[in-house]
């Protein structure tokens, strides 16, 4: 009996890890093909994409230097880093303060405001993009960093995310802080923020992914390479004939690298956030 249970356990582990390997391959194989393609000649990228040659270059090409030289890719990367970093930092500050106020600061109309925030979560950005563009044209901030950053600082989704985490904190902590004479700001900075690092990591990762990979809004509001993000630059290179597939792959690798770095940096807190959400549910 014991041997039978041991065999079943081994088979269950084998099946589990086999499925995990399959899922991992689905995500890793395209990244590997993209990386190998970034050092291949243009003609070999597509010609060898349907065979094992896709995983080994027959000839090494310096596509990274070509991409950075011909499309001002370095400037585009800096623009994306400025915009994405600003949205992450300012958004974390603003959204966490709003979530804290909705959770623990008593004021008139708090429930109504919370209902408005929840309702705004389901409103897609595309629904307000044209009015925002008209307003930006009126105040002459089109083709600037401001118009790429300002609309995305306050987010109903992240406000509600922080609200949920703040609401899960023990009420006794805030009652004790009031007894000790701590005001709203002191309680927010000294007590609340250190306890919601998983929520901060989740907000940072998701907001960075959304802004870094965004194309719809930057295409509408950017005109010059001085403020244009990297996604717009990649779309322009991909739409230019003849198509330089090696350069496109090199740019794609350079675009993917910051995303992987951000995720690896915030991964432990992000995993804790997912785990704690599951336990609460």
The pLDDT assigned to 175 comes to 74
CA dist 164 and 42 (Å) reads 50
Query: Which of 32, 118, 68, 90 is closest to 208 using CA atoms?
Result: 90
Q: Give the mean pLDDT of the chain.
A: 83
Confidence of residue 258 (pLDDT cuts 50, 70, 90): confident
Say what percent of the chain tops pLDDT 90: 25
pTM, rounded to two decimals:
0.81
CA dist 196 and 116 (Å) reads 24
In this prediction, residues 193-201 reach a mean pLDDT of 84
Residue 166 has pLDDT above 60, yes or no: yes
Confidence of residue 279 (pLDDT cuts 50, 70, 90): very low
The pLDDT assigned to 3 comes to 60
What is residue 132's three-state secondary structure? helix
The pLDDT assigned to 2 comes to 55
Query: Cβ(76)–Cβ(233) under 8 Å?
Result: yes
The pLDDT assigned to 61 comes to 77
Residue 67 has pLDDT above 80, yes or no: no
The pLDDT assigned to 278 comes to 43
For the chain, the 3-state helix, strand and coil shares in percent, each to the nearest 5, are 80, 0, 20
In this prediction, residues 196-206 reach a mean pLDDT of 86
């Amino acid at each position: 009996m014991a041997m039978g249970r041991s065999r079943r356990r081994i088979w269950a582990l084998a099946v589990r890890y086999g499925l995990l390997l399959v899922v991992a391959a689905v995500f890793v194989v395209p990244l590997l093909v993209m990386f190998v393609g970034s050092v291949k000649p243009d003609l070999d990228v597509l010609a060898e994409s349907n065979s094992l040659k896709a995983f080994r270059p027959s000839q090494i090409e310096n596509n990274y230097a070509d991409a950075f030289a011909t499309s001002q890719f370095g400037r585009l990367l800096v623009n994306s880093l400025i915009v994405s970093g600003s949205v992450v930092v300012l958004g974390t500050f603003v959204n966490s303060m709003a979530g804290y106020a909705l959770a623990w600061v008593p004021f008139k109309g708090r429930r109504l405001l919370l209902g408005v925030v929840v309702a705004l979560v389901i409103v897609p950005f595309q629904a307000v993009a044209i009015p925002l563009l008209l307003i930006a044209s009126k105040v002459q901030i089109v083709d600037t960093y401001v118009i790429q950053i300002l609309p995305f600082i306050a987010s109903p989704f992240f406000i509600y995310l922080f609200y949920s985490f703040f609401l899960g904190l023990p009420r006794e902590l805030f009652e004790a802080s009031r007894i000790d004479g701590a005001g709203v700001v002191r309680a927010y900075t000294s007590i609340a923020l250190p306890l919601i690092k998983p929520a901060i990591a989740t907000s940072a990762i998701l907001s960075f992914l959304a802004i870094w990979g965004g194309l719809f809004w930057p295409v509408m509001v950017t005109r010059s390479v001085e403020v244009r993000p990297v996604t717009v630059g990649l779309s322009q290179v991909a739409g230019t004939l003849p198509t330089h597939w090696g350069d496109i792959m090199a740019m794609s690798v350079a675009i993917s690298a910051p995303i992987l770095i951000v995720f690896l940096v915030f991964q432990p807190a992000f995993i804790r956030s997912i785990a704690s959400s599951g336990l609460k549910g």
